[in-house]
Amino acid sequence: MAKIVQKYGGSSVQDADSIKRVARRISRSRQAGNDVVVVISAMGDTTDELMDLALAVSPQPQPRELDMLLTTGERQSAALLAMALNDLGVKARSYTGSQAGVITTGRHGNARIIDITPGRIQASLELGNVTIVAGFQGVSQGTKDITTLGRGASDTTAVALAAALDAKYCEIFTDVDGVFTADPRIVPSARRIPEISYEEMMEMSACGSKVLHVRCVEYARRENIPVHVRSSFSDNPGTWVRSQEDVVKRKQMEQALITGVASDRSEAKLTVSGVPDTVGKAARIFDVVAEADINIDMIVQNISAVTTGRTDISFTLPMNDGKKAVDALNAAKDEIGFQGLLYDDQIGKVSVVGVGMRTHPGVTAKFFDALAADGVNLDMISTSEIRISVVVEVTMVDRAVAAAHTAFGLDTEGEATVYAGTGR
């Protein structure tokens, strides 16, 4: 009898009928002899509706109270799912994040899991219950206030519970069939990736793949929990995310250089021009941006022109933080002594990811050749051991993704894989 954790997202529990459908699926897992813990998101648009209500009452809702409000959505779906299961003759109980022992930091709206004390969950499993936990939430250490965990949080809750309960694996049910070699809306011939390593998945998530949040994959890697990402609308196998040792053998057999191509249109580029080329000026720019709580992704510094003693520094950052960064830098303009700011949100990032590239030095050349052959100009470049990312004009993103996908032999031969949805 295996202990497993399943997570269902909001699109899987949109209404009463879909809750009953999820209950039938869980019932099958239970009949197969598994001990099942379920982490559940709020129904469909519930969280957005609650947010609208909060904004109707207060232009800037207090974070503590917003967490109290928003967490009710998952509690509702958890209770409804338990009712539906009990109706099928499957014993079930729902628990809030707090009751389930999800202990977090006190940062409302973006708390992190510190610990899981799963005493009540274990007791409920021992009574033979399918045990349902409201996702996205916990309780702060010390102050015991209700917290929410920020983006991708229900997935992370599921993986953290799997680790705390020593579960065999964690299944993440979503509205797509798994992780694909590229976004099938861009590349219709994209294939489902049957297996991917934690490291590759982290790079994919960080570079725009929306199927799993990078924080969730990080957690799974640290705790070595296999994660199966699959569709809640079919019984097809999805994508297994697991340790490199378990995956790499198959990779080597296939001789695949690249596991997938990811793209991201959510970043913008900010160029600080005419920066005095003296010690500490560049560092001061990034201090100012960091103090504004903005994460920078890629950085390029031009070679200083000898005649002027000045240089240009460009970096990418989340588009949503664009105004904040411009304001912060302008406030420090005199101190740093730069000459101008150029903001460009008409960019996109395209990344190729794969452990195969470690042992194949020609990957960068192959990637750039493919882009050049298709007329795509590169604006910025960054690499890791298993990833190459480039920034291109936003209108060129689709073309670049397709070119890379073809160049690295990822296009499907024969029938296209079924692709059920549009990501989360």
Q: Closest separation between CB of residue 144 and a second copy, Å? A: 7
Sign of torsion, CA 165 170 175 179?
Answer: positive
Query: Site map for a second copy, 103-142, x if CB under 8 A?
Result: -----------------x----------------------
3-class secondary-structure state, position 229: strand
Structure tokens at 284: 């001061």
User: Which residues are CB-contacts of 139 (< 8 A; sequence separation ≥ 6)?
Assistant: 97, 98, 102, 103, 104, 145, 146, 147
The CA angle 66-69-71, to the nearest 5 degrees, is 105
Residue 8 marked ligand-binding = yes
Query: Site map for a second copy, 185-224, x if CB under 8 A?
Result: ----------------------------------------
Q: To which residue do tokens 């003693």 refer? A: 309
Q: To which residue do tokens 């559940």 refer? A: 40
Residue 74 marked ligand-binding = yes
Q: Closest separation between CB of residue 99 and a second copy, Å? A: 7
For a second copy, the binding residue among 34, 94, 137, 417 (CB under 8 A) is 94
Closer to a second copy by Cβ: residue 1 or 56 = 56
Q: Closest separation between CB of residue 146 and a second copy, Å? A: 8
Residue 251 marked ligand-binding = no
User: Which residues are CB-contacts of 20 (< 8 A; sequence separation ≥ 6)?
Assistant: 84
Q: Closest separation between CB of residue 382 and a second copy, Å? A: 42
- Using CB under 8 A as the binding rule, the residues of this chain from 9 to 28 that contact a second copy are 15-16, 19-20
Question: Binders of a second copy: how many residues, by CB under 8 A?
Answer: 38
Residue 361 touching a second copy (CB under 8 A): no
Produce one character per residue of 127-143: b if its CB has 16 or more CB atoms within 10 Å, e if not.
eebbbbbbbbbbbbeee
Residue 366 marked ligand-binding = no
Output the DSSP codes for 109-131.
TS--EEEE--HHHHHHHHTT-EE
Residue 7 marked ligand-binding = yes
Instruction: Give residue 424's identity as a one-letter amino acid code.
Output: R
- Nearest-CA neighbor of 179 among 154, 225, 214? 214
Q: Closest separation between CB of residue 380 and a second copy, Å? A: 42
In the DSSP assignment, the letter for residue 219 is H
- Using CB under 8 A as the binding rule, the residues of this chain from 30 to 89 that contact a second copy are 50, 53-54, 56-62, 64-66, 68-69, 72, 75-76, 78-80, 82-84, 86-87
3-class secondary-structure state, position 288: helix
Q: Closest separation between CB of residue 61 and a second copy, Å? A: 5
CA distance 273 to 92: 61
CA distance 341 to 360: 39
Which residues fall in the annotated binding site? Answer: 7-10, 47, 74, 174-175, 185, 210-211
Residue ranges binding a second copy (CB under 8 A): 15-16, 19-20, 50, 53-54, 56-62, 64-66, 68-69, 72, 75-76, 78-80, 82-84, 86-87, 92-94, 96, 99, 120, 144, 146
Which residues fall in the annotated binding site for substrate? Answer: 47, 74
